[in-house]
Amino acid sequence: MSYPDYGKTFALWREGAGQSWHDYVTHPFVEGLRDGSLPRASFLHYLIQDYVYLVHYSRAWSLGVIKAETQDEMKICAGTVHALVNHEMALHVETCAAAGISEEALFNAGETTENLAYTRYVLDAGMQGDFLDLMAALAPCVLGYGEIGARLAQTASGDTPYMQWIETYAGDEYQEVCRTAGAMIDKAVERRIGNDLSASPRCEILQARYTKATQLEVGFWDMGLRGQ
């Protein structure tokens, strides 16, 4: 099956991540969302951890504002921080509130090791490196959920209780976010490396960051499944 077009850097990194990418986007947790078999307790466990994830993930996009070299990069990073803190997290708060879990409980939830490993890895990639190192570690999250949403919208059972989750990521608004992020990454590569990333000495390390973040996404789904 084809995948969405989020630009040429995404296509290269996605291909380079190979089996890890496949494991991420077709994980049993994702299949459980698609066919509705995912236990509610697993979903809630995932959502609570994901709230904490988004706190640190927002910090990583804030680092993007610091590492940006153009106005366009700065605007997109600042806009993403705003969207995360004021909108994306609200979705988690709403769903958890309906299950009797308060925002304070979410903010103070104990962080699992898989969760901590992922976000601190991304932050460290950004602190050690430049804007591209940070983007390579951030990209699997943004673009992976876009690809997952687009696929699930076409194949999900009509009666899955997770349709709202699927529609959030499959919807035009989120797909546009992915295209904008993909185009911004292509421009950032062009500016710092030129038009042939695969021939650059930086290619290997950027790919390693992208692949590692992808594997940490797989670990995050595994963690979600354990919350049954």
Query: Known catalytic residues?
Result: 141, 217
57 binds ligand VIB (CB under 6 A): yes
Residues that contact ligand VIB, how many (by CB under 6 A):
13
Considering the complex, what minimum distance in angstroms separates the CB of residue 144 from ligand VIB?
Answer: 7
* Residue 117: Cβ within 10 Å count: 16
* Residue 129: Cβ within 10 Å count: 18
Residue from 29, 53, 165, 210 in contact with ligand VIB (CB under 6 A): 53
Asked if 155 contacts 33 with a C-beta cutoff of 8 angstroms, the reply is no
Considering the complex, what minimum distance in angstroms separates the CB of residue 200 from ligand VIB?
Answer: 26
φ/ψ of residue 39, rounded to 5: -60, 140
106 binds ligand VIB (CB under 6 A): no
* Sites for ligand VIB among residues 155-194 (CB under 6 A): 177
Angular region, 130: left φ>0, alpha ψ -120 to 50, beta rest? beta
73 binds ligand VIB (CB under 6 A): no
- Calculate the CA 81 to chain-centre distance: 13
Contacts to ligand VIB by CB under 6 A: 50, 53-54, 57, 80, 84, 88, 141-142, 145, 177, 217, 220
